[in-house]
């Protein structure tokens, strides 16, 4: 959560708190009793010349560190995830159906661009005991894949970046209400998606606590 992003997301004003580096959000859930892991895929600010490359995403997971037993407990785990194409700056919460392809292992692959990202999340929220939350950790895996195998493989030209995050929610069924019913607990480092699988993570603990309580990965 300390170094700057590997790449800057396209279409995000640089004054945004997460435009150039990861940031912590609300580490205390307060009275919120649910959460979800989420992530966001962007073209990098320098542009993405690859036209025959998709990003495959899978295995979104969320854990919390308990104040009671000082152990990590899993809250969410899903190969599949849900999402939509949102305006890159999220203005007006405008979104549309994303270019999603369902893969044989139960995961999905997507494209982003033309002023839209791909914002995704776990299929269902998880309940939390807000007074027992010492820390939150979410993770997801992603890699580059070929879109059309009858066309040249241009993954070497791809400039996709992905960041993992997480939200507290008022409860399991609350509707989005301009951030009145949810608040993020962190937005992780944007990293370039590569041909091999990588993990993209966010964690709310400072480094010394992470070393004492490493997450289960």
Q: How far apart are CA 32 and CA 160, in angstroms?
A: 33
- Please give the mean pLDDT across all residues of the chain: 96
Q: How far apart are CA 152 and CA 53, in angstroms?
A: 10
- Tell me: the pLDDT tens digits for 165-202? 999 999 999 999 988 999 999 999 999 999 999 999 99
Pull the structure tokens for residue 168.
Answer: 């507290």
Quickly list DSSP for 75-116: EEEES--EEEEEBTT-GGG-EE---EEE-TTS-EEE--BTTB
Residue 57 confidence (pLDDT): 98
In the predicted structure, residue 42 carries a pLDDT above the cut 90: yes
Overall average pLDDT of the 85-110 stretch: 96
Residue 202 confidence (pLDDT): 97
Q: Find all residues with CB under 8 Å of 97, minimum gap 6, and list them.
A: 84, 85
Contact between 107 and 175 under an 8 Å Cβ cutoff? The reply is no
- Tell me: the pLDDT tens digits for 205-214? 999 999 999 9
Residue 179 confidence (pLDDT): 86
Q: How far apart are CA 125 and CA 170, in angstroms?
A: 11
Q: Find all residues with CB under 8 Å of 116, minimum gap 6, and list them.
A: 85, 86, 87, 88, 96, 98
CA 77 distance to own-chain centroid: 14
Least confident of 23-27, 31-35, 47-51: 23-27
């Amino acid at each position: 959560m300390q170094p700057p992003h590997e790449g800057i997301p396209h279409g995000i004003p640089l004054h945004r708190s997460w435009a150039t580096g990861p940031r912590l959000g609300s580490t205390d859930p307060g009275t919120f009793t649910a959460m979800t892991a989420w992530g966001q895929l962007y073209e990098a600010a320098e542009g993405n010349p690859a036209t025959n490359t998709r990003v495959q995403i899978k295995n979104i997971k969320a854990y919390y560190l308990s104040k009671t037993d000082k152990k990590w407990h899993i809250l969410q785990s899903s190969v599949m995830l849900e999402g939509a194409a949102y305006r890159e700056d999220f203005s007006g919460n405008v979104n549309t159906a994303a270019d999603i392809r369902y893969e044989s292992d139960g995961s999905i692959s997507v494209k982003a661009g033309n002023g839209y990202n791909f914002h995704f999340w776990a299929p269902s929220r998880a309940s939390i005991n807000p007074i027992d939350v010492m820390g939150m950790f979410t993770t997801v895996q992603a890699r580059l894949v070929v879109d059309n195998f009858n066309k040249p493989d241009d993954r070497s030209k791809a400039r996709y970046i992905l960041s993992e995050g997480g939200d507290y929610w008022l409860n399991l069924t609350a509707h989005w209400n301009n951030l009145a019913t949810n608040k993020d607990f962190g937005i992780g480092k944007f990293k370039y998606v590569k041909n091999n699988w990588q993990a993209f993570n966010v964690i709310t603990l400072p480094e010394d606590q992470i070393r004492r309580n490493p997450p289960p990965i």
